[in-house]
Amino acid sequence: VRNVLFLRKYVLLLFGCSSLVLVFIMLQNTEKELCDNQHIVTKNAALSSDKLAELKQKWLNELKKSPSLNGPDEPPRSDALPSVSSLECLINDQQTVQCLKAAGTDGQVYMPFDFIQNYFEVYGKMKHYDGYDRFEFQQSYAKVIYNPKVPYSYTGVFMTFDSYNVEARDRVKCISGITGVPLSTQWHIQGYYYGIQIAQFGMSHYSKELVQRPPTKQVYENAEDSIQGQWKPSNKDCIVDIAKDTETQSNVIKFSTPVSIPLGSGAALILGNTIEHILSFDLKMITNGSLSVVLETNDKLKQYTIHYITSNIVIDFDHKSNIYYGLGASRHWRHIARDLLTDLKKGIGLTDTRQAKKVRINILKVARLTVRGSGFIDNITLSTSEHLSQFHDASQWIYLNQDEETGGWKNEVERRLEGYKPIPAGWISAMGQGQGMSVLSRAYHVFQNPKYIVALSQAMLPFTKFPHEGGVRAVFMDKYTWYEEYPTEPASFVLNGFMYSLIGLYDFKALLEDNYELVTRLYDDGMTSLKAMLPLYDGGSRTFYDLRHFMVQMPPNIARWDYHTTHISQLVLLYSVTKDPVFKKYIDSWTGYLNGKVAKHN
Amino acid sequence: VRNVLFLRKYVLLLFGCSSLVLVFIMLQNTEKELCDNQHIVTKNAALSSDKLAELKQKWLNELKKSPSLNGPDEPPRSDALPSVSSLECLINDQQTVQCLKAAGTDGQVYMPFDFIQNYFEVYGKMKHYDGYDRFEFQQSYAKVIYNPKVPYSYTGVFMTFDSYNVEARDRVKCISGITGVPLSTQWHIQGYYYGIQIAQFGMSHYSKELVQRPPTKQVYENAEDSIQGQWKPSNKDCIVDIAKDTETQSNVIKFSTPVSIPLGSGAALILGNTIEHILSFDLKMITNGSLSVVLETNDKLKQYTIHYITSNIVIDFDHKSNIYYGLGASRHWRHIARDLLTDLKKGIGLTDTRQAKKVRINILKVARLTVRGSGFIDNITLSTSEHLSQFHDASQWIYLNQDEETGGWKNEVERRLEGYKPIPAGWISAMGQGQGMSVLSRAYHVFQNPKYIVALSQAMLPFTKFPHEGGVRAVFMDKYTWYEEYPTEPASFVLNGFMYSLIGLYDFKALLEDNYELVTRLYDDGMTSLKAMLPLYDGGSRTFYDLRHFMVQMPPNIARWDYHTTHISQLVLLYSVTKDPVFKKYIDSWTGYLNGKVAKHN
C-alpha cells in the first residue's frame, strides 16, 4: 500500500475542532447556482438507507419532544359538520374570489388558501398523521439557520455547508474527471469552472467529513497479500500483474491491454457491491486507455457503464447506456475518487441547456470495473464517502487557478445584473476571494503546506483595488468600505457576498493569529461597514439582497427566503466570534420575519 | 354695512385658479395629530344635509360607472350549500387555527378571515347590497391620493386638504375664541398652539373655499334699513340702538346692559335658524361682557348655551348645558366667525386627557343670541361656511407668531422620538416652516399684503441652520441636504415632513417667480436629495416613515397607510410641477403597495 494521501489522524484532529450544526431535512443553498425548485432533499449519496432511516427516527423523536411541534394526542373530536354558504369576496376592488361564510348572524368569513398562497406568497401543506390530517401553514420555506454549539472556527464546519450537496445542483454540469471539481452552467451553457461553486463544493465536503460518521469502505485491490482482487482478462493480450512501484515504494497492479480493444473490455475486476458508491483508486497511465464501471440500477433493472477515459472530454452520454468522462492525459500517479451515483445522474441528465434534467435513479449494484490500455492501479476501494479527497481536489483547483497577477479567481463569463451594464468576463468577486480563502485556510490546516499561506496572502490583493483597477473594493457614500460580490459600477453592495468575503478574511486573520496587519485592517474596515449598513438591508418584513434600489433607482431587490436565511446564518457566524450585540439584534428580528413577525408601523 | 373683510371677488378669483381634487368618502389625515381610529367621515359642519345627500348620489353614480367597483348585476346564483369539515391548521409551528376543508380529495382549505386580518394586518368588511352580501377585502385602509386635474399651484387647493376637518380631530382641544385657531393636545394635556396644525387648519379652509359651493347665508342684523333684527331686552336697563360707527363709517348696533346681570341674559336677538351653523359678526366691546347663543339639539331635545366671554379662558363646560369660550379683552373691532357645532361638540367632549371625547350631537335650531355688557355689533350672520374668515385667522396667527429672531414657528412642547434623546421645547420644524410658507403664500395671494412676503423671507432662515444652531438643516452622509421635521441629533430624516417643507419652498419660489436665489437654492438642494434618497424609504411592500433605522439602528419605522398615501400625494404634487420621471416611478410602485403589489424577490 502506498502512503494514503489523507491520513485518518487528520480526520480525528478535525473532529476535535469541529462545531456542530443543526441540520434539518432540507438542502440549503446560496448564490444563484440554485434554481428555486430545489428545496427538496436529494438523496445524499454518502448516506446509506439505514443511516437515513436512523436519522429520520432521530428527527421524529426530536419533533415529538418539541411541544410546539407536537401533533394533538388524539384526533380533534368530530363535531357536527359546519354549515356554510358561498360568499363572493372582492379583492382590492379588482378581482373576486369565492369564499365561505359560516351560518349565523356574525358568521366568520373563510378565504380559500389558494388565494391566500398566491396573494401573500406563503406556504401551506396538508400533512397526514395517524388518523387525522392537519394543514401546516408557513410564512417562508426556509428555516435552517446556522446554530453552532461552539464559536465558528476556520478549522471547523463552514456555516450550514455540511447540508449542501453542490454536485446535485441542476446548474452543475458534472464533476470533471480531470480536476475532480464541478463545472457550472449557471451563466453559460457550456460548462465552466466557477470558483465560488468549487469553493462551496470543497467546503461542503470538508464540513461533511467533520459531522458525518466515518464512511464504510471495501478495499478490492491493494496489491498486497492481504487483499488481492480477482481479475478477469477478456483475452490473452490483457495482462494483470503485481509490480513494485519505485516512486511510492509500494506494491501496485500493473495492467496492460491493447488500446484498440472496444471501450469497456480489457481486464475486469468483479466488485459486486450493493452498499458503497464512491469509487476511489490511485492511477498512473502509461498509454491512453480507460477505466469502465458497470452499474446495475433500478431503472428497469438496466445496466449503465461509466467510462473514464484518458481524454479531455468533459462528459458525454450515448442516450443508451454509456456515459463518458475524460480523465485528461496525465501520466503521473493520481488519486481519483468518483461519486458513481452523481456521475450516473449527470450523465443520464445531460442536456443542451443550462439546467440538467432531474434524474431519479438508484444504483443497486456496482458490478465490476474494467481497465483498458497500460498503466498502474492501486487501492481500488468502494466507500460511502471520500470527503477529504473531494476537499483536496477543490483546494487544488483553487490553489492552481489563482491568477498570479491579481491574486484573484477570475470568472470567465460575462455577468449581467438588472439595472447595470454587463460585467465583461474576467471579473473577480469578493465572495469568490472570501470563499477561496476559507478553503485555503482549511487546506493549510489539513495539509500543512505553506503554499496555501502564500495563496491566501495573494487573495487579499483584489480587496485593495476598485473595480476599474480589477478589484472588488467599493465605498458607500464615500464612507463605508465594502467588498463587492459583483464588481459593478456603480457598486451594487450585495450583502451575502460581502459577508462571505468577511468570513474569508476572518479565517485568514484567525489562522495568522492577527499577525498580519493587512488582513486585520481589511476585516476591521469591512466589519465597521457591515455593522453600520445592516439597517439598509432591513425591509421590515424581509431583507434586501443588495442596495441596487439606492444605487440605480429600482424597486428593492428582495432577497428570496434562502438568501434571507443565509443572511441570518452569516450573522450568527459573525456573532459567534464577535459577540457584538448589533448582530444579535438583526439575528432576532430577521429570524422573526421567517415566522411572519414584521416591524411595527407608526 | 361696514366693508366686509373678505370680498366675494377674491373668492371668484380663487375659483379661477383652483385645481380640483378627487374626494372620496374619507377623512385623510397627516401628522401625529390624528389617532388611528379616526378614518371615518365626521359630519362636515359646513355641509347641509341636502348637500351631503347630493354628494352621496354623485359618488354613487361615479361608483356605478367604474367597472371595477361595480357590484354584480344580480345576486350570485344560489348553489347547493357547500359541504365542508373542520380542519386544524398549524401556523408557523406556533399556534393553531380552526380552518375548513371542502369535501372531496383535493378539497380546498379555507382560513378564517379573523386570522388573516390579524396575521397580515389587512382589512375586510361585509357589504350589503340589494338582495345579496359581498365581502370586501382591502390590503390597506387609505386610498385617497391627490389627483389634480391641473398642476399644483400655490394659489390653489393644497393637496387633499379640502377633505381635512382639522377641528374635528380629537387631539384638537377647541378653536380658541381669542385667536380663532385650534389648540392642540397632541403632546401636552393643556392645549397649546401647534403651528403645523394651525397651518393645516388654515389650508383646509382655504382649499374648501375653492372646491365647495358658495355658502348659504342669513343676515339677521346689519343695522341698515334693509335688515333690522328684532331685539328683546330682558329688562329696561338693556338698551339696543342703531349708531353710526365713526371708524368704519357704517351703521352698527350699539348695545348696553349692566355687566352684573346673569350670563345669558341681556338683549336677545331671535334667530330661529335650522340650517346654517356658522355664526359670524363684527364686534367691538366697551366694557366686559358676553355673547350667548342658545342651541336646540337632538340630545333629548336639550338646549345648550355657548357663552363667548370677554376673558382669557380657553374653554369650559359646566357638565350641564353651559359652554364657555373666552374672546380675550379686545376693545377693537373684530370679525368673529364661530362654527357653533364644533364649539358645542368640543364643549361637551371636554376631558382632562389629551383626547377629546367623541360626541354625537346635531344642532336642530340656532335659537337666539344674547348680548351682555356694552359695545357695538354688526353684520350678525348665520351661514353654511366662513372658510376665508377661518383661513384669515390662521394666516394671522402664523404671521403674528413667527419668532422674530429665528424666523421659525417654535413648538413649545418637548418632543420625544423613540431612539433619540428628547427635543426640548422651543424646537423648530421644517414641516412647520413649509406649511407656514404655504399658508403665507396663499395669504399674500388673497390679501395682497406685503407683510406676508417679509414673513416668508424670514421663514427660510431655519433652513440654513443646523439643529444645534436652532435650525432644521441636516445632511445625509455628508452629501444630501435635508430639512428635518424633527430637529433630532443625529438626524431622523422624516420623509413626509421634508416633502411638506419642499412644497412650502416651492410655493414661495413660485410666488416670487424664481427671483430670489436663496429660496430657489434651498428648493433645488432639497429636490436633489429627495430624488436620490427616495429609494431608502422603499420597503418593497410599504414605505418607511423616516431613516431612524439607519441613524440609530432600530427596526424600520414603517409608515402607517395614511402616511404612505401622504407620501404618494406629495410625490403626485411634486410630479405635477416637475414632471420628473423619478417621481412617477415611485408614485406607481407605492400606489401598487396599497393593493398588495410588492417588489419582486430574486
* Nearest-by-Cβ selection for A136 from B90, B100, B585: B90
The DSSP line for B445-473 is HHH--THHHHHHHHHTGGGGS-GGGT--E
Is B600's CB within 8 Å of A112's CB? no
Angle in degrees, CA A485, A530, A583, rounded to 5:
120
CA distance B40 to B524: 38
Is B490 in contact with B419 (CB distance < 8 Å)? Answer: no
CA distance A3 to A34: 38
How many CB atoms within 10 Å of residue A435? 31
Chain B positions touching A72 (Cβ under 8 A) are 88
Confidence of residue A12 (pLDDT cuts 50, 70, 90): very low
Is B137's CB within 8 Å of A555's CB? no
Domains of chain B, start order: 12-24+30-35+144-211+390-594 (1.50.10), 84-138 (no CATH), 217-384 (2.60.120)
Confidence of residue A300 (pLDDT cuts 50, 70, 90): confident
Question: Amino acid identity, residue A453?
Answer: I
Q: Is the pLDDT of residue A175 over 70?
A: yes
User: Which of B295, B273, B283, B294 is closest to B217 using CA atoms?
Assistant: B273
Is A113's CB within 8 Å of B110's CB? yes
Residue A319 Cα distances to A149, A323, A331, A369, angstroms: 48, 8, 31, 21
Cis peptide bond N-terminal to B490, omega within 30:
yes
Confidence of residue A132 (pLDDT cuts 50, 70, 90): confident
Residue of A nearest to B78 (CA): A86
Distance of CA A248 to the CA centre of its chain: 34
Residue of B nearest to A142 (CA): B92
The residue to which cell 441570518 is assigned: A568
* Least Cα separation, residue B589 to chain A (angstroms): 8
Q: Where are the beta strands (DSSP E) in B236-346?
A: 239-245, 250-256, 267-273, 278-297, 303-309, 315-317, 322-326, 334-339
Chain B positions touching A557 (Cβ under 8 A) are 599-602
B281/A129: higher pLDDT: B281
Condensed to tens digits (0 to 9), the pLDDT of residues A509-528 reads 999 998 899 999 999 999 99
Condensed to tens digits (0 to 9), the pLDDT of residues A371-407 reads 999 999 999 999 999 999 999 999 999 999 999 999 9
pLDDT value of residue B73: 47
* Nearest-by-Cβ selection for A540 from B479, B536, B542: B542
Tell me which of A70, A73, A111 to substitute to probe the interface with B (most B C-beta atoms closer than 10 Å).
A111
pLDDT value of residue A47: 52
Condensed to tens digits (0 to 9), the pLDDT of residues A196-255 reads 999 999 999 999 999 999 999 999 999 887 777 889 988 888 999 999 998 888 999 999
H/E run at residue B123: strand B123-129
For the CA atoms of A358, A363, A369, A373, the dihedral, rounded to the nearest 10 degrees, stands at -10
CA distance B370 to B378: 14
pLDDT value of residue B56: 59
Confidence of residue A37 (pLDDT cuts 50, 70, 90): very low
* B 190-209 near A (Cβ less than 8 A): none
* Least Cα separation, residue A124 to chain B (angstroms): 9
CB contact, 8 Å: B545 with chain A? yes
Question: Amino acid identity, residue B579?
Answer: K
Angle in degrees, CA A336, A342, A348, rounded to 5:
120
A300/A397: higher pLDDT: A397
CA distance A443 to A426: 25
* Nearest-by-Cβ selection for A582 from B132, B553, B600: B553
Taken in order B31, B33, B36, B37, the sign of the CA dihedral is: negative
pLDDT value of residue A297: 95
* Least Cα separation, residue A524 to chain B (angstroms): 19
The DSSP line for A500-555 is HHHHHHHHHHHHTTT--HHHHHHHHHHHHHHHHHGGGGB-SSSBBS-SHHHHS--S
Burial of residue A520 (number of CB atoms within 10 Å: 0-12, 13-18, 19+): middle
H helical segments located in B179-327 = 195-211
pLDDT value of residue A19: 38
Chain A positions touching B73 (Cβ under 8 A) are none
pLDDT value of residue A25: 31
For the CA atoms of B354, B360, B365, B368, the dihedral, rounded to the nearest 10 degrees, stands at -20
User: Which of B140, B206, B198 is closest to B169 using CA atoms?
Assistant: B198
Condensed to tens digits (0 to 9), the pLDDT of residues A427-479 reads 999 999 999 999 999 999 999 999 999 999 999 999 999 999 999 999 999 99
CA distance B264 to B517: 57
Cell of B188: 401636552
Is B485 in contact with B463 (CB distance < 8 Å)? Answer: no
Chain B positions touching A112 (Cβ under 8 A) are 108-110
Question: What is the SS3 assignment for A420-464?
Answer: CCCECCCEECHHHHHHHHHHHHHHHHHHCCCHHHHHHHHHCHHHH
H/E run at residue B162: none
Enter the DSSP assignment of A35. -
CA distance A311 to A329: 6
Segment A132-147 shows an average pLDDT of 88
Angle in degrees, CA A507, A508, A513, rounded to 5:
100
* B 51-80 near A (Cβ less than 8 A): 68-69, 72, 76, 79
* Nearest-by-Cβ selection for B113 from A110, A114, A541: A110
A270/B30: higher pLDDT: A270
Q: Is the pLDDT of residue A40 over 70?
A: no
pLDDT value of residue B191: 84
The residue to which cell 412650502 is assigned: B504
* Nearest-by-Cβ selection for B135 from A99, A120, A539: A99
Is B87's CB within 8 Å of A544's CB? no
Q: Is the pLDDT of residue A322 over 80?
A: yes
Is A204 in contact with A175 (CB distance < 8 Å)? Answer: no
CA distance A125 to A137: 7
Cell of A2: 502506498
* Least Cα separation, residue B102 to chain A (angstroms): 10
Contacts for B63 with CB less than 8 Å, ≥ 6 apart: B69, B70
CB contact, 8 Å: B602 with chain A? yes
CB contact, 8 Å: B536 with chain A? yes
Is A92's CB within 8 Å of B477's CB? no
- Look up the ipTM and state it: 0.82
* Nearest-by-Cβ selection for B92 from A108, A139, A582: A139
Backbone angles phi and psi of A136, in degrees to 5? -115, 115
Question: Amino acid identity, residue A530?
Answer: L
Burial of residue A248 (number of CB atoms within 10 Å: 0-12, 13-18, 19+): middle
pLDDT value of residue A1: 55
pLDDT value of residue B356: 78
CA distance A341 to A363: 7
Residue of B nearest to A480 (CA): B477
User: Which of B261, B290, B265, B295 is closest to B278 using CA atoms?
Assistant: B295
Contacts for B417 with CB less than 8 Å, ≥ 6 apart: B423, B486, B488, B492, B548
Taken in order B113, B114, B118, B122, the sign of the CA dihedral is: positive
Is B152 in contact with B141 (CB distance < 8 Å)? Answer: no
* A 18-57 near B (Cβ less than 8 A): none
Q: How many CB pairs under 8 A join A and B?
A: 226
CB contact, 8 Å: A129 with chain B? no
pLDDT value of residue A65: 53
Q: Is the pLDDT of residue A39 over 70?
A: no
The residue ranges of chain B whose pLDDT is under 50 are: 4-45, 64, 66-78
